[in-house]
Amino acid sequence: MNKAGKKVILLGNEAIVRGALEEGVDFVSTYPGTPASEIGDVFFKLSQDKNYRGYFEFSTNEKVALEAGIGASFSGLKTLVAMKNFGLNVCLDSLLPFVYTGTKGPTVIVVADDPSCHSSAQSEENSRFIAYAAHIPVLEPSDPQECKDFLRLGFRISERYKIPVIVRTTTRVAHQKMPVILGQMPKLGSRKGRFIKDVKSFVTLPPRVLEMKKELLEKIEKIKEFSEKQSVNLLIGKPSRQKLGIIASGISYLYVMEALKELNLSLPVLKLGFFYPLPEEKIKKFVKTLKKVLIVEELEPYLEKEVERLAKNTNPKLQIFGKNLVPEIGELKPEYVIQAMAKITGKFYNLQPETYDLAIKRFPQLCPGCPYWLVISAIKKAVDVKNVIFGGEIGCYMLFGNPPVNLQDYLSCMGSSVGIAHGIKKSTGQKIIAFVGDSSFFHAGIPALINTVFNKSNPLIIILNNRTTAMTGHQPHPAAQSEPNGINIEAVVRACGVKYVKTINQINQEEFVNTVKDFLKKPEVSVIIATNPCVFVAKK
């Protein structure tokens, strides 16, 4: 299995793990989130073996995961942090200064986007914005082989330029499988880091912080030069008679190659492995002799705008096609790219009409036997649902928004159900029940709970403690699976200053119903902790 040179079918996320292991990663931290979850799952499994040489943790949220990683990097360890796109938002506050201080131990951050929101509520985020906000190098693999290769390249860039590097995937890359050629695993013993005081490098106190920014921008210039010479920015094919070229990266590149095959076209393609910094000279050279260029990218037209900017002086007459031919909302599909290329080349492509009239809509549902069904039934018995506002959140319980449950009047990000409930309470005084999961509570719910106490509002908060991070694949969290050693949620709630708290197993329907009725009348914030475990935890 581990032999170098062997071909093994790997999921994109598994290939990322393999790449990190081949690099000899020391320290890995993550918070689970699809489509990045399997990275943590595989490392978790590895770390259960006492011979595993590295360190792994599921952190309480992505900000904490990154901060743990920053500490490891400052101590000289080779570090990997993984998260989904929304996790990047959570950790932004720590990320920007980290790019300023730079790394000591090489550090790669994996960020997984989910165009079309297959496994994401809240927004269709394109994490590329971070390149501009943070001046952090961003690499975009197309498939599992590249996931492994780009991860290793990320570590090399980080080592050479002392800067963290992002490897950005999307669902169709992270959850794609293909045979991957394995590399050599290094023979390393366990490594202990050492933090060596270096105020100039690690303290972002002004006025030093502005010097750091200058140093960062200089690094980026150097990495730009480096990226010009990298084969991951690859020119494929020869100039065509129609003087048309294509620029693509990530999964879009695979669709472009598919489209060329399908339409029997031979066109030059510039495949970009770097999103930031872009190999600008390479791009300029590519577009210089073209009449038309098609940029194929998912979501917002970041590359298109860059090419527009670069072409302005190099080739002002260049016709640039992109979002006028491929959609900005939702993931790309190969047929969209085939159609766009057919249109631009004047080829005829007959698309099979989509006869879909009989297909039926199937909403995701809570599992049979899920303890949340008991919470739902208790609430429907306790209150007239028309007169109560229900705050939703990220986790299995966001399915409360689907029929036949329909108990969700707003849904935003993790930890937000409580924060928003407070605002609604303060603004209206209407009755409100906010749901928050156990993992979510630790992730971002606690500051919001403290705020309801501090600023005096009285929503009813129901913490659904099913003892696991269920939605993403049953990862542990601070109160889960390690009881009695786990953190006691009720004690945390009390310590936040909440007076009306009850821990109830929702099997006791009558008690649950009566407590909901009672707590909704309280003049201060109240909390019910529902403790029946997830069916998958109960099975263990």
Partner 1 sequence: MITLLQIIAEAAMSEGYSVRTSELHGLSQRGGSVEVHVRFGRKIYSPLISQGKADLVLGLEMQESLRGIYVANPTTKFLVNKFIIPIPLKKPLSENEVLVGLKKISKDVNLIPAADICREKLGADVVSGIYLLSLAVFKKIIPLKPSSILSAIKKIIPEKYLELNLKTFNLART
Q: Is 34 in the site for partner 1 (CB under 8 A)?
A: yes
Q: Please, what is the minimum distance in Å from the beta carbon of residue 192 to partner 1?
A: 35
Q: Is 169 in the site for partner 1 (CB under 8 A)?
A: no
Taking CB under 8 A as the criterion, the residue among 404, 485, 510, 523 binding partner 1 is 404
* CA dihedral (178, 183, 187, 188) positive or negative: negative
Cβ neighbours of residue 183 closer than 8 Å, sequence gap 6 or more: 4, 18, 19, 22, 148, 152
Tokens found for residue 186? 């290094």
Stretch that binds partner 1, among 227-235, 297-305, 395-403, 422-430 (CB under 8 A): 395-403
Stretch that binds partner 1, among 237-245, 349-357, 433-441, 486-494 (CB under 8 A): 349-357
Q: Is 115 in the site for partner 1 (CB under 8 A)?
A: no
Taking CB under 8 A as the criterion, the residue among 335, 409, 518, 524 binding partner 1 is 335
Residue 283-312 contact track with partner 1, rule CB under 8 A, x = bound: ------------------------------
Q: Is 246 in the site for partner 1 (CB under 8 A)?
A: no
Q: Is 351 in the site for partner 1 (CB under 8 A)?
A: yes
Q: Which residue has the tokens 């993931």?
A: 331
Residues 459 and 425 sit within 8 Å (Cβ to Cβ):
yes
Q: Please, what is the minimum distance in Å from the beta carbon of residue 251 to partner 1?
A: 8
Cβ neighbours of residue 223 closer than 8 Å, sequence gap 6 or more: 137, 157, 161, 163, 277
Q: Is 365 in the site for partner 1 (CB under 8 A)?
A: yes
327: alpha, beta or left? (left if phi > 0; alpha if psi -120 to 50): beta
Separation CA 439–CA 469 (nearest Å): 6
Separation CA 45–CA 14 (nearest Å): 12
Closer residue to partner 1 (CB): 33 or 415: 33
Q: Please, what is the minimum distance in Å from the beta carbon of residue 388 to partner 1?
A: 23
Q: Is 1 in the site for partner 1 (CB under 8 A)?
A: no
Q: Is 363 in the site for partner 1 (CB under 8 A)?
A: yes
Residue 440-459 contact track with partner 1, rule CB under 8 A, x = bound: --------------------
Q: Which residue has the tokens 């208790």?
A: 378
In sequence order, which ranges of 362-500 are alpha helices (DSSP H)? 372-382, 416-428, 438-440, 446-454, 489-495
Q: Is 199 in the site for partner 1 (CB under 8 A)?
A: no
Taking CB under 8 A as the criterion, the residue among 118, 312, 517, 522 binding partner 1 is 118
Q: Is 5 in the site for partner 1 (CB under 8 A)?
A: no
Q: Is 403 in the site for partner 1 (CB under 8 A)?
A: yes
Residue 251-280 contact track with partner 1, rule CB under 8 A, x = bound: ---xx-xx--xx------------------
Q: What residues does 502 pair with on adjacent strands?
A: 528
Q: What is the b/e burial string over 353-387, where b = at least 16 CB atoms within 10 angstroms of the residue's CB?
A: eeeeeeeeeeeeebeeebbbbbbbebbeebbeeee
Separation CA 208–CA 201 (nearest Å): 9
Q: What are phi and psi of 19, to 5 degrees?
A: -60, -40
Stretch that binds partner 1, among 54-62, 398-406, 450-458, 524-532 (CB under 8 A): 398-406
* CA dihedral (156, 159, 161, 166) positive or negative: positive
Closer residue to partner 1 (CB): 92 or 236: 236
Cβ neighbours of residue 360 closer than 8 Å, sequence gap 6 or more: none
Stretch that binds partner 1, among 18-26, 241-249, 419-427, 471-479 (CB under 8 A): 471-479
Q: Is 111 in the site for partner 1 (CB under 8 A)?
A: no
Cβ neighbours of residue 229 closer than 8 Å, sequence gap 6 or more: none
Q: Is 425 in the site for partner 1 (CB under 8 A)?
A: no
Taking CB under 8 A as the criterion, the residue among 360, 384, 387, 539 binding partner 1 is 360
Tokens found for residue 177? 């499988």
The DSSP symbol for 329 reads: S
Q: Is 486 in the site for partner 1 (CB under 8 A)?
A: no
Q: Is 86 in the site for partner 1 (CB under 8 A)?
A: no
Q: Which residue has the tokens 């930031």?
A: 276
Closer residue to partner 1 (CB): 68 or 90: 90
Q: Is 362 in the site for partner 1 (CB under 8 A)?
A: yes
Q: Residues binding partner 1: what is the number (CB under 8 A)?
A: 52
Separation CA 321–CA 400 (nearest Å): 42
Residues contributing to the site for partner 1 (CB under 8 A): 7, 9, 11, 34-35, 37-38, 118-121, 143, 171-172, 175-179, 254-255, 257-258, 261-262, 333-335, 338, 351-352, 354-367, 396, 399, 403-404, 471-473
